[in-house]
């Protein structure tokens, strides 16, 4: 008798497992789900705007000379002046980082002849973080005045985003969007939203603002040019995956 019940028990278990998989849509939310319920999974994203408070700049020196040693020496001398100007502008040591040092030969190409080395080019670049954006234009001008002949940036960002409430604003916006969408689906289906079964953060996204155009503005005729930079706004995004229980 016991052996005859095993096939029935196995069939019942398989049938129950299949029904559970269909109801949960490949999800297994915790808690009890009523038999007359439908699970609805909604993804929603919301943004929060913030004015950037830091800027990252890449700057450096490119020098050329007939031999490698002379190119590196000239580069080191000029770069020392640039670094001194950076520190004089109040940039902390922790905000100055060498991003690349490169020495490469320069070639002359003539048809039907092997390339001939004509000299060497040395590059030294640093990344620096400017935390007082009101000084950004003057810092850029001082870098060029002291010998920097390569500048890229600035890239604007928000310092210590985790302590800012912007992500929480985005979370609230995302959950409100998800709730409204669930209500719409429920109403269309002639049902009601019973509860939220689960919430998970799909991801957060806070890209640095792309480099703006740096404009040179003349204060008056004959005056020195002043570099004007506008930080604009950055967007912080939050994505949520929310599972709702719908029922009659």
User: CB neighbours of 213 closer than 8 A, spacing ≥ 6?
Assistant: none
For residue 167, give Cα distances in angstroms to 54, 56, 188.
18, 22, 32
**Whole-number mean pLDDT of the chain?**
82
127-157 confidence digits (pLDDT tens): 999 999 999 999 999 999 999 999 998 999 9
User: CB neighbours of 82 closer than 8 A, spacing ≥ 6?
Assistant: 59, 60, 61, 126, 143, 146, 147, 148
195-224 confidence digits (pLDDT tens): 999 999 987 766 665 544 443 333 333 345
DSSP H helical ranges for 30-101 = 68-88
pTM across the whole model: 0.66
Q: What per-residue confidence (pLDDT) applies to 220?
A: 33
Helices 68-88 and 136-145: crossing angle in degrees, nearest 10, is: 150
166-196 confidence digits (pLDDT tens): 889 999 999 999 999 999 999 999 999 999 9
72-102 exposure pattern, b = at least 16 Cβ within 10 A, e = fewer: beebeebbeebbebbeebebeeeeeeeeeee
Can you give the C-alpha Rg of the chain in angstroms? 31
């Amino acid at each position: 008798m016991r052996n005859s019940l095993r096939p029935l028990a196995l069939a019942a278990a398989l049938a129950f497992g299949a029904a559970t998989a269909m109801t949960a849509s490949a999800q297994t939310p915790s808690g009890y789900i009523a038999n007359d319920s439908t699970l609805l999974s909604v993804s929603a994203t919301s943004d929060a705007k913030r004015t950037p408070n830091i800027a990252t700049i890449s700057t450096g020196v490119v020098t050329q000379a007939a031999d490698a040693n002379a190119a590196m020496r000239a580069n080191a001398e000029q770069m020392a002046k640039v670094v001194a100007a950076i520190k004089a502008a109040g940039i902390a040591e922790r905000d100055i980082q060498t991003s690349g040092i490169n020495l490469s030969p320069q070639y002359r190409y003539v048809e039907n002849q092997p390339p001939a080395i004509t000299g060497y080019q040395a590059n030294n670049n640093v990344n620096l973080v400017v935390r007082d954006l009101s000084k950004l234009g003057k810092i850029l001008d001082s870098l060029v005045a002291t010998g920097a002949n390569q500048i890229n940036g600035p890239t604007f960002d928000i310092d210590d985003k985790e302590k800012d409430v912007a992500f929480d604003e985005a979370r609230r916006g995302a959950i409100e969007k998800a709730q409204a969408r669930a209500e719409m689906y429920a109403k269309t289906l002639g049902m009601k939203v019973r509860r939220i079964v689960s919430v998970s953060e799909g991801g957060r996204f806070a890209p640095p603002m792309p480099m703006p155009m740096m404009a040179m503005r003349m204060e008056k005729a004959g005056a020195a040019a002043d570099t004007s930079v506008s930080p604009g706004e950055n967007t912080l995004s939050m994505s949520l995956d929310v599972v709702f229980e719908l029922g009659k």
